[in-house]
């Protein structure tokens, strides 16, 4: 449940950015029709020191473009938009905390990877986040 709240909070924060007009956002726990271009946020949390209020989360952002209608430059541009949007940590943390779904303490990128098949470009951004109940 808290994982979903964190995912929804990140999705809500990114969706408000006008640069993502036309991009579909999904969370990992929703059964929605998956339309591209898409950004899917999933997270997996563990409790900090056995606490019921503070958690560490491994968050994954899956950024996808359809390969038929998009070139690699389009995909790279979308990935760059996501990176740029999340680079301003203070603003993202403030925006998410203002939503009162979770209280985000901070986050840090840990890895990224690119995957291409015949149908889509797919970049995965992974980061660790510390958050708690609001």
Partner 1 sequence: MPATPVDVTFGISKHDGALIDSVEVEKKIEQKALKGSDGNVARVHVYNPTNSGSVKGHGTLAVVPGVGDPGVTGITGGVTVITSVKESEKNEDFSDWEYQFENYPNAEAVT
Q: Using CA atoms in the order 65, 71, 74, 76, what is the torsion angle rounded to 10 degrees?
A: 90
Residues forming contacts to partner 1 in the complex (CB under 8 A) are: 48-51, 53-54, 56, 105, 107-108, 110, 127-128, 130
Of 23 and 92, the one with the shorter C-beta distance to partner 1 is 92
> Can you read off the two tokens belonging to residue 131?
């958050």
Smallest distance, Å, CB 110 to partner 1? 6
Smallest distance, Å, CB 88 to partner 1? 16
**Which three-class secondary structure state does DSSP give residue 126?**
strand
Pairing between β-strand 24-27 and β-strand 38-47 as defined by DSSP bridges: parallel
Smallest distance, Å, CB 56 to partner 1? 7
Of 1 and 108, the one with the shorter C-beta distance to partner 1 is 108
Distance of CA 108 to the CA centre of its chain: 12
Smallest distance, Å, CB 103 to partner 1? 13
**Which three-class secondary structure state does DSSP give residue 35?**
coil
Of 51 and 84, the one with the shorter C-beta distance to partner 1 is 51
């Amino acid at each position: 449940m808290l994982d979903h709240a964190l995912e929804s909070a990140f999705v809500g924060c990114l969706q408000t950015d006008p640069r993502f007009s036309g991009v579909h956002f999904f969370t990992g726990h929703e059964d929605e029709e998956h339309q591209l271009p898409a950004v899917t946020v999933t997270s997996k949390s563990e409790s900090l020191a056995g606490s019921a209020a503070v958690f560490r989360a491994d968050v994954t952002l899956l950024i996808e473009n359809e390969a038929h209608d998009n070139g690699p430059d389009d995909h790279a541009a979308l990935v760059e938009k996501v990176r740029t949007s999340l680079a301003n940590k203070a603003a993202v943390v403030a925006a998410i905390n203002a939503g009162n779904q979770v209280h985000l303490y901070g986050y840090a990128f840990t890895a990224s990877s690119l995957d291409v098949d015949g149908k889509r470009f797919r970049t995965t951004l992974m980061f660790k986040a510390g958050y708690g109940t609001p």
